[in-house]
Amino acid sequence: MRRFSWFNATSLTLGFAFLYIPMIILIIYSFNGGRLVTVWAGFSTKWYGTLLSNEAFLDAAWVTVRVGFMSSTLATILGTMAAYVLVRGGRFHGRTLFSGMIYAPLVMPEVITGLSLLLLFIAIGLDRGIITIVLAHTTFTMCYVSVVVSSRLISFDRSLEEAALDLGCTPFDAFRSVTLPIIAPAVISGWLLAFTLSLDDLVIASFTSGPSSTTLPIKIFSAVRLGVRPEINALSTIMIGIVTIGVITASLINKRAVTKRLDDEQKAAAA
Amino acid sequence: MAQPAKTPVVFAPWEDKTAKPLIEFNGVTKRFGSFTAIDNISLKIYEKEFFALLGPSGCGKTTLMRMLAGFENITSGTVLLGGRDIAPVPPNKRPVNMMFQSYALFPHLSVWDNIAFGLRRSDMPKDQIGDRVEEMLRLTRMEKFARRKPHQISGGQRQRVALARSLAKAPKLLLLDEPLGALDKKLRNDTQFELMDIQEKTGTTFVIVTHDQEEAMTVASRIAVMDHGKIIQVATPAQIYETPNSVYVADFIGDVNLFEGNVTATKGDKVEIAWAEGQPSIHATAPAGTKSGDRVHFAIRPEKVSISGDKPDDAANAIQGTVHDIAYLGNISTYHVQLSNGLIVKAQAANNRRLSRRNFTWEDQVWLSFTDTAGVVLNK
Amino acid sequence: MNFRRLILIGVPYGWLLALFLVPFAIVLKISLSDYAVSIPPYTPTLDLSEGWAGFQDFLSKLDFDTFKFLTTDSLYWKSYLSSLQIAVISTFFTLLVGFPIAYGMARAPEEWRATLMMLVILPFWTSFLIRVYSWMGILGREGYLNSLLLSMGIIDEPLVILNTNIAVYIGIVYTYLPFMILPIYATLDKLDVSLLEAAEDLGCTRTSAFWLVTAPLSRPGVIAGSFLVFIPALGEFVIPSLLGGSGTLMIGKVLWEEFSSNRDWPVASAVAVILLLILIIPIILFQKNQQKQAEADQ
């Protein structure tokens, strides 16, 4: 048995301090009453009030959420199909190109993806707005979804599908009643990943958005370009809060499912 | 001139009161939190022994071995190696090497570099390292595979590389943690003899950990049977088999029939044991000090029980039953005979006739018989 | 091929062709065109109404002038070099910070690991932009770091960190740290502890066992992590825009400015094409590393 040495304890403490202190500072100073960002002038929630009365921010947030929902849902459908084709599709003409197009956007710099999509939209005369952002986000997030889903499909016992076919399912029935329920957790995490990436994206959205369709990251970016703004601290705190609650809830649900499963297995073994 | 009569040299240093042990455990205890893994063990292992630690998983045998390698601290007691306390010596300074259960071959190094790994960290001059590695490769018949990586050779070959690597530094003591556990049965049997050969050739003291009683019986000069952190019996394989000191050892090693009863009469070292209503008492030989009224177990191996159709006249013990099951094992058959009180007794007979002419079959009435020295009487 | 299979393959395939491959072809085409004051701001344009002759005419007018222009203006190759330099330096520092964390996680008690893992992943789910922004308040002239150091009397003058390359390094290390930690942790976690015991048994000290066994065996994770940081860092736009100064040259920023401020589409496209060509090498190396690792796992 190896000791958990002081060296490991120190590196973990320092490492996590580095990861979390900037965000903690942000949260603390979002409750700062003063206009000067670095001088503490008493506890206040006034910046939250300023933020919530700012129509432009609220509009941008609404656009962002709508884009996120639409693009992540589309991306999940397309990405799951793509994953299924990659893992179970067998051979077909142009398969190499297909898998190349799935993996390439993962490493493509956002500026290039954004630029190329914008040039396409201009070329075909599509007005920039929510639709163009959704198309752009769907394209790059579907690749993430398909990576997540295909890793689940690869580890999935093929004989389960074969058993379903053997028991009289059509291939589509087998997919719906056997494959889909089993890969569902991966599909859900794929959707969440796509949603987060969409909410988070600044560069691609900047290229593909129109004047009437500013997203929250674009708004934040233009607000903070010239310096720290207290209402952005408040906005950041809200966003960090939502994500933290989401991640912790998800991991608790997951942990409970695992514990329940272990428990059930133990009971079954004892019986 | 008359040649001096050759007396066969029996290797049994443990019977020599003047012999100095290589390893000495004195009242060693190891606790993990509230769990006692090793409970006050004292044990002596002598030079050139092939010593087996045998027991079910969780009995403490691996912990005991890892103490020798230096990977476990000792809670109390002392471990001496060549008369010196080894507690303060870190694993990399001990003249002890270990062959790991997983083999722990370095996947990024070739077979050659794996074997040379320990030598390069010793004070051996560079030009001798090559010779020593070649010697080890020859010893384990791995010359042809020196340049391969561990994942490019078979399981049996990996096992030999692990052995070569741990022997390369010519340790005083080699520890083997379930060395054959990952091999299939056939390969395991061959490798057992190879291990014994190598042990003899190199004259190294081997301590092997195993849960396989057959393996321990085959390779070891002495066996320590362990249970729950305690040593139950230390003896040669023959002694362990023929005269186990407890029901646990008798049951753990080989197949055994056990009868529990009370001693009703003693005459010298002969005793009578009443063990069930309506069944004849067992006549047996008991250790000194066994008294009338003692609660004892009588243990007898299946091959010491004869099976016959008619009641034998001269047997010290004869019990009647019906054949319940027959397990045909090729060279022998084991008969499961049910007595009138329901107890099943196993008896073995050699198959020196063809199957079709077998004497007994299912539901036959048979007699089981054994002499009064065939079994042992156990007090614990 | 039946109808369902056609749909299953055709829909995602068609989507990616239309929204990934075609746009890229357009970028390539425009990079071979010349800047013009018109709408769209480049020539030649493909006029399909003139048929085959028009297409031939279009092809003959494509040239490498824009690429030649990139070599004449030092801004561009300086930006590429500076991007490479920034990406390499920050990847190195990310490794320096990330390895001990991954190592500590792999050595931590079993029951902590799920929590530690969640703590590493959590920042990844929070907004990238906000994580970069959080350093603006810390590193500024009147930022938290300077106030702290001044009040402790460690410095007399505020340090100038924000709007320098150092701030960019910090930003990249901070935001890409999880990408470094996770693959290294994965290889260290798989590392059989008995290998380290074997090394010690054969005469290694703890330190030499680390260099002879742990370090070479964690190499695939280190390589994977380094590429996962290096590749996106090279085309980074947000970090140099918010934390870097006017002297911070990064190619992502240049591309953005060429396009939105100068409206020079051919140059922006040519910059993108070259950036992609530069990226192909590390991407191929990364793929090779992943494949090797996958084979080794089998």
- Per-residue confidence band for B2, with pLDDT thresholds at 50, 70 and 90: very low
CATH topology assigned to domain A62-215: MetI-like fold (1.10.3720)
Give mean pLDDT, residues A177-189. Answer: 88
Helix (H/G/I), strand (E/B), else coil: C298: coil
Do B35 and B158 lie in a common domain?
A: yes
Please determine, for residue A179, whether its predicted confidence score (pLDDT) is greater than 90: no
What tens digit of pLDDT does each residue of C56-87 get? 767 777 777 788 888 888 888 899 999 999 99
Please determine, for residue B207, whether its predicted confidence score (pLDDT) is greater than 70: yes
Q: What is the pLDDT of residue C217?
A: 92
- Could you tell me what percent of chain B has a pLDDT over 70? 96
> Which residue did the predictor score with more confidence, A261 or B336?
B336
- Per-residue confidence band for B354, with pLDDT thresholds at 50, 70 and 90: low
Please determine, for residue A160, whether its predicted confidence score (pLDDT) is greater than 50: yes
Nearest CA in chain C to A10: C104
- Per-residue confidence band for B160, with pLDDT thresholds at 50, 70 and 90: very high
The shortest C-alpha distance from C134 to chain A (Å) reads 6
The shortest C-alpha distance from A228 to chain C (Å) reads 6
Q: What is the pLDDT of residue C262?
A: 79
Give mean pLDDT, residues C18-28. Answer: 91
At C210, phi and psi to the nearest 5? -60, -50
Kindly list the residues from chain C whose CB atom is less than 8 angstroms away from the CB atom of residue B151.
296
CATH code (residue B207): 3.40.50.300
Those residues whose C-beta lies under 8 Å from the C-beta of residue B17, and which sit 6 or more positions away, are none
What tens digit of pLDDT does each residue of C89-98 get? 999 999 999 9
Please determine, for residue B359, whether its predicted confidence score (pLDDT) is greater than 60: yes
Residue B1 lies in a domain: no
Nearest CA in chain C to A134: C19
Q: What is the pLDDT of residue B114?
A: 94
The shortest C-alpha distance from C102 to chain B (Å) reads 21
Q: Are A193 and A141 in contact (CB under 8 A)?
A: yes
Nearest CA in chain B to C206: B92
Please determine, for residue C8, whether its predicted confidence score (pLDDT) is greater than 90: no
The structure's pTM equals 0.83
Lowest average pLDDT, out of A130-144, A166-180, B142-156, C1-15, goes to A166-180
Q: Which of C192, C201, C210 is best to mutate for the B interface (most B CBs within 10 A)? A: C201
Per-residue CA distances from C22 to A94, A121, C16, C17, C18 (Å): 16, 11, 9, 6, 5
Q: Which of C24, C162, C242 is best to mutate for the A interface (most A CBs within 10 A)? A: C24
Subunit contact B117:C202, Cβ cutoff 8 A: yes
The shortest C-alpha distance from A101 to chain C (Å) reads 7
Q: What is the pLDDT of residue A271?
A: 62
Subunit contact C174:A22, Cβ cutoff 8 A: yes
Subunit contact B108:C204, Cβ cutoff 8 A: no
Subunit contact C201:B166, Cβ cutoff 8 A: yes
What integer best gives the mean pLDDT of chain B? 89
Nearest CA in chain C to A19: C174
> Which residue did the predictor score with more confidence, C246 or C101?
C101
Subunit contact A79:C12, Cβ cutoff 8 A: yes
Total count of domains within chain B: 2
Q: What residues make up the domain containing B184?
A: 13-249
Nearest CA in chain C to A106: C232
Do B125 and B267 lie in a common domain?
A: no
Nearest to C13 among A2, A16, A98 (CB): A98
Can you list the positions of beta strands (E) in B205-316?
205-210, 222-227, 230-235, 257-267, 270-274, 282-285, 295-300, 306-308
Q: What is the pLDDT of residue B355?
A: 57
- Per-residue confidence band for A1, with pLDDT thresholds at 50, 70 and 90: very low
The ipTM value here is: 0.87
Residue B6 lies in a domain: no
Do B323 and B180 lie in a common domain?
A: no
Q: Which of A203, A222, A254 is best to mutate for the C interface (most C CBs within 10 A)? A: A203
Angle at A154 between CA A152 and CA A158, to 5 degrees: 110
Chain B touched by C199 (CB under 8 Å): yes
Nearest to B91 among C201, C217, C296 (CB): C201
Give mean pLDDT, residues A162-184. Answer: 82
Q: What is the pLDDT of residue A106?
A: 84
Do B52 and B172 lie in a common domain?
A: yes
Q: Which of A3, A76, A98, A108 is best to mutate for the C interface (most C CBs within 10 A)? A: A108
Do B42 and B155 lie in a common domain?
A: yes
Chain B touched by C191 (CB under 8 Å): no
Chain C touched by A142 (CB under 8 Å): yes
Give mean pLDDT, residues C196-205. Answer: 91
Identify any residues that bridge with B24 across adjacent strands, giving them in sequence order.
B44, B80
Taking the C-alpha atoms of residue A181 and residue C5, their distance in angstroms, rounded to an integer, is 21
Q: What is the pLDDT of residue A260?
A: 83
What integer best gives the mean pLDDT of chain C? 87
Nearest to C140 among A220, A228, A236 (CB): A228
- Could you tell me what percent of chain B has a pLDDT over 90? 55
Per-residue CA distances from B8 to B11, B12, B193, B243, B307 (Å): 9, 12, 22, 24, 38
Taking the C-alpha atoms of residue A99 and residue A115, their distance in angstroms, rounded to an integer, is 22
Subunit contact C231:A107, Cβ cutoff 8 A: yes
Nearest to B106 among C201, C213, C296 (CB): C213
Please determine, for residue B232, whether its predicted confidence score (pLDDT) is greater than 90: yes
Please determine, for residue B6, whether its predicted confidence score (pLDDT) is greater than 70: no
Do B297 and B211 lie in a common domain?
A: no
Which of residues B249, B283, B314 is at a domain's end? Answer: B249
Tell me which residue of B310, B323, B307 sits closest to B362, measured CA to CA: B323
Give mean pLDDT, residues B260-270. Answer: 88
> Which residue did the predictor score with more confidence, B63 or A228?
B63
Do B221 and B301 lie in a common domain?
A: no
Tell me which residue of A116, A115, A141, A99 sits closest to C21, measured CA to CA: A116
Taking the C-alpha atoms of residue C222 and residue C99, their distance in angstroms, rounded to an integer, is 8
Tell me which residue of C255, C235, C253 sits closest to C245, measured CA to CA: C253
Helix (H/G/I), strand (E/B), else coil: A33: coil
Nearest CA in chain C to B69: C201
Q: Mention the CATH class of domain C69-297.
A: mainly alpha
Q: Are strands B96-99 and B173-177 parallel, antiparallel or unpaired?
A: parallel
Kindly list the residues from chain B whose CB atom is less than 8 angstroms away from the CB atom of residue C216.
108
What tens digit of pLDDT does each residue of A50-82 get? 888 888 889 999 999 999 999 999 999 999 999
Lowest average pLDDT, out of A120-129, A257-266, B237-246, goes to A257-266
Extents of the domains making up chain C: 69-297
Do B235 and B276 lie in a common domain?
A: no
Q: Are A29 and A37 in contact (CB under 8 A)?
A: yes
Subunit contact C204:B97, Cβ cutoff 8 A: no
What tens digit of pLDDT does each residue of A212-255 get? 889 999 999 988 887 778 888 899 999 899 888 988 888 888 78
